[in-house]
Structure 1
Amino acid sequence: MNVQTKSKTADNGVNVDALLGAREALTAAPQAANFTWRAECKWLNGMHSRSTMTGFFGLGEEHTHKTPYNIDADHPECFAAEDDGATPTEIVLAALASCLTGGVASVAQHRGIQLRAVTARVEGDLNVYGVLGMDPEIRNGFNAIRVSFDIDSDASIEEVEAVVAQSQKLSPVFDIIANPGNVKVTVG
């Protein structure tokens, strides 16, 4: 009996072959896997600032983005600010949603799952008593973060859940938030 298996294919816009090639290349040159990402933030006025990302180091050399990317941050008027940008905490949530969503697209592509739509919704709970110095027992950061996905695809719910779980497992931003590393702040 001749059994043929049909390979599922999908086109979610992710170059999986390049990603798999990078894995193979990095196995042979592990030092190239060390990346340094950079952002420069300039104060504009009040609580308004602009972060710019122009380049990074990786694969053993410096790289420049095709264009500088800017993110404005501020606080809403209820915090006596001008509301000229998202809050830094919202930017963190957006980074988490973006990283997980990109991971979903990559993992789905690799598994031959065609996506039609992906929406991630992220909420973070934060008590401002900590930020305002009103209660030293209340932390300044999020007490809880919730991520929910709406995914329209050709896969079963079990396959979609497995894709999301793998995206979470591989997400650097999820790891940064869930397992904070060593942060050093200097002046000068």
Structure 2
Amino acid sequence: MNDTAKNSLPQADATIDGGDLDCGSGLLLMIRNAMTPIPAGGVLEIRSREISVKEDLPAWCRMVGHTLVSESPAPNKYTHYFVRKKQDADSALSVDLQQAKDYVWRARIKWQQGMVSKVFARNHAFEVGQPASFNTEDEVPGAIEHLLGALGGDLSAGFQWRLSRAGIEVYNLEISLSARVGNVLVFLGIEDDGNPGIETIDGKVYVDADSDKGASNDEIERIWQDTLRRSPLAQTLAPHVKLNIDLKRVP
């Protein structure tokens, strides 16, 4: 961006970095929360790398009465949006935040045949195999594998998003997880003593990421620990399962 274009942008009263969040994944709550201390007529700068925001943010502004003043491309695949706050914009925020806290996720599960069930969640459907399978060629992943995949997806998305918000670009990110059950023979009905549940989940996180200023290993480790602390699934499992998931930075 040249100096003339930069000088033509409105002066922002506050700035947020939404990273790769889309409007349906919490970005709008972040925007509304950041707008609370801004006076009516003030401007919020929203930095985003999510392509769908280019269409969804203007539509949301029109719907609620804010004004999208301008948008500007920026380095690292970012676009900066400048939104002017309307009058009386704060009254519904507390309601929206409470609704987010009270939201209930739902799924419907229907047995299909044999050891396979089908899960219906929102507009998605997927099949789940038996809880513990030793066959390497099952038609569908088992329940434990779905749990590992869900945990890994949770951590991968959260880690990337928090790195992005810190101005650190992710070039590659991969998570490898494995689970060990206490005594699978209890599930199979062969034995009665022992814990049929998962006792430990081990894993490695491989990340290639850096910033223009040079992100230190300590900074990336701090963001990873914050990701674990804020992860819905990791914090659900942590009181009952020993999580050993180590971070390794790769070039």
* TM-score, normalising length: structure 2: 0.55
Q: Distance in 2 between matches of 1:165 and 1:77?
A: 32
Measured against aligned partners, the alpha-carbon deviations of 1:55-89 in whole angstroms (never above 9, x if no partner) come to: xxxxxxxxxxxxx212211148756xx82211001
* Structure 2 CA distance for aligned equivalents of residues 41 and 34 of structure 1: 23
- Identify the residue that residue 131 of structure 1 maps to in structure 2: 187
Work out which of the two has the higher radius of gyration on C-alpha atoms and give 1 or 2: 2
Q: Select the residue among 114, 118, 131 that pairs with 1:50.
A: 118
| 1:28 equivalent in structure 2 | 94
Bigger relative contact order, structure 1 or 2 (CA pairs below 8 A, ≥6 apart): 1
> What residue is the counterpart of 1:63 in the other structure?
none
Q: Is 1:14 matched with 2:21?
A: yes
Q: Distance between the aligned counterparts of 1:23 and 1:94, measured in 2?
A: 31
Letter in 1 for 2:159: V
Deviations 1:108-159 (A, max 9, x none): 1221111111101111111312212333332111120013100000032212
Mind listing any 5+ residue stretches in structure 2 that lack a counterpart? Answer: 1-16, 37-91, 241-251
**Is residue 156 of structure 1 aligned with residue 212 of structure 2?**
no
2:107 matches 1:39: yes
Instruction: Quote the offset at 1:12 in angstroms.
Output: 5.3
What residue is the counterpart of 1:84 in the other structure?
A: 139
Identical columns (%):
22
Aligned length: 157
Q: Which residue, out of 152, 156, 167, partners 1:101?
A: 156
Name the aligned partner's letter for residue 44 of structure 1. Q
Paired residue secondary structure (1:84): coil
Please report the RMSD computed on the Cα atoms of aligned residues, expressed in angstroms. Answer: 2.9
Residue 145 and residue 123 in structure 1: after superposition, are their counterparts in 2 closer, same or farther (change >3 A)?
same
Give the structure 2 partner of residue 169 of structure 1: 229
Q: TM-score, normalised by structure 1?
A: 0.72
**Residue aligned with 1:37, SS:** coil
